[in-house]
């Protein structure tokens, strides 16, 4: 999430860096720094309609096609004795089912929500990984729309699960009036709980994911375009820096792949936790 720099020096440093970046981006050639406009590319199709189709959507379309093809074909070809490809897919499915769903919700309750968690996990993982795939170079989750849709799906599911488990009144009572608290504390607690359940949980799910992907993309583009600048355009004295930034690009690519998996995992774990909070019995 965004944190405003509060320390004066830190703030100054940040401002200086940003100004330089912004200034550099203003020039035509030379160093091409990453900018927030990377996430809002010009439309390719349907410009001016609500169906504006830009590069981000193209990346998402490709990832969706790959994920759907791999998993549907994989499921169709799935055999009793798995081959190598099936083993990898089953590894992913088992990971979500055993290490996330059953771990958090318990074996019995997990059955109902394994499909939801698996779908979301695979979708986020694949869209995140697009950020380190050469040619795509941007995560499908790095623009807020898709994280919002996924978070909204989880939001609706955990509200529905809670209402189904306790009834509408029961769900509101258990979520907004946590038991075991002196009644006058509800003046303080109930608004907080309301915010938590109805705003903060879905909002943080979406924002955490999109912020991680945005920052990852900015870092990667920074080191990659710096490498290009140092090696191609900068004077001979600066070319050595290119090696440094190239090494950093390699390391950051691996790091971003890790972050892609980690963010998918965090999103799904939190979704499972929220579901569990909704359906668990009153204590």
Which residue ranges make up the site for other proteins (CB under 8 A)? Answer: 2, 4-5, 11, 14-15, 18-19, 22, 36-37, 39-40, 43, 46, 49-53, 56-57, 60-61, 64, 67-68, 71-72, 74-76, 78-80, 82, 89-90, 93, 114-115, 118-119, 122-123, 140, 143-146, 148-150, 153, 207, 210, 214
How far apart CA 152 and CA 206 sit, in angstroms, is 9
Instruction: Please report how close the Cβ of residue 282 comes to other proteins at its closest, in angstroms.
Output: 31
Q: Which is nearer to other proteins, 111 or 239 (CB)?
A: 111
Q: How far is the CB of 93 from other proteins (least distance, A)?
A: 6
- Closest approach, Cβ 255 to other proteins, in A, equals 22
Instruction: Please say which residue, 44 or 240, places its beta carbon nearer to other proteins.
Output: 44
Residue 152 vs 250, nearer CB to other proteins = 152
Report in angstroms how near the CB of residue 156 gets to other proteins at its nearest: 12
Tokens of 220: 């990667």
Maximum alpha-carbon separation in the chain: 73
Element spanning 108, H or E: helix 107-129
Rounded distance, CA 178 to CA 195, Å?
14
Give the separation between CA 142 and CA 131, rounded to whole angstroms. Answer: 9
| Closest CB 29 distance from other proteins, rounded Å | 22
Please count the CA atoms within 13 angstroms of the CA of 88 that sit on its side-chain side: 6
Number of CB atoms found within 10 A of residue 227's CB: 20
């Amino acid at each position: 999430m965004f944190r405003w720099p509060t320390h004066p020096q830190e703030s100054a440093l940040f401002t200086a860096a940003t100004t330089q970046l912004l200034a550099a981006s203003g020039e035509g050639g030379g160093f091409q720094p990453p900018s927030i406009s990377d996430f809002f590319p010009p439309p390719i199709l349907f410009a001016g309609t609500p169906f504006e189709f830009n590069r981000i959507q193209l990346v998402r379309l490709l990832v969706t096609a790959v994920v759907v093809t791999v998993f549907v074909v994989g499921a169709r070809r799935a055999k009793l004795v798995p081959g190598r490809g099936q083993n990898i897919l089953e590894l992913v499915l088992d990971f979500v089912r055993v290490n996330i769903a059953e771990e958090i919700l318990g074996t019995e309750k997990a059955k109902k929500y394994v499909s939801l968690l698996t779908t979301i996990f695979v979708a986020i993982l694949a869209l995140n990984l697009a950020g380190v795939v050469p040619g795509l170079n941007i995560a499908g989750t790095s623009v807020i729309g898709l994280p919002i849709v996924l978070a909204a799906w989880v939001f609706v599911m955990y509200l529905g699960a809670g209402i189904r488990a306790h009834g509408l009144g029961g769900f509101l009572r258990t979520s907004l009036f946590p038991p075991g608290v002196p009644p006058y504390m509800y003046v303080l607690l109930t608004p907080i709980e309301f915010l938590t359940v109805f705003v903060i949980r879905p909002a943080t799910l979406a924002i955490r994911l999109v912020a991680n992907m945005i920052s990852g993309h900015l870092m990667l583009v920074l080191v990659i375009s710096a490498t290009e600048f140092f090696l191609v355009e900068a004077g001979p004295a600066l070319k050595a820096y290119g090696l440094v930034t190239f090494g950093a690009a390699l390391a950051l690519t691996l790091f971003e792949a890790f972050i892609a998996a980690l963010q998918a995992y965090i999103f799904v774990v939190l979704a499972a936790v929220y579901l569990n909070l909704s359906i668990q019995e009153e204590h």
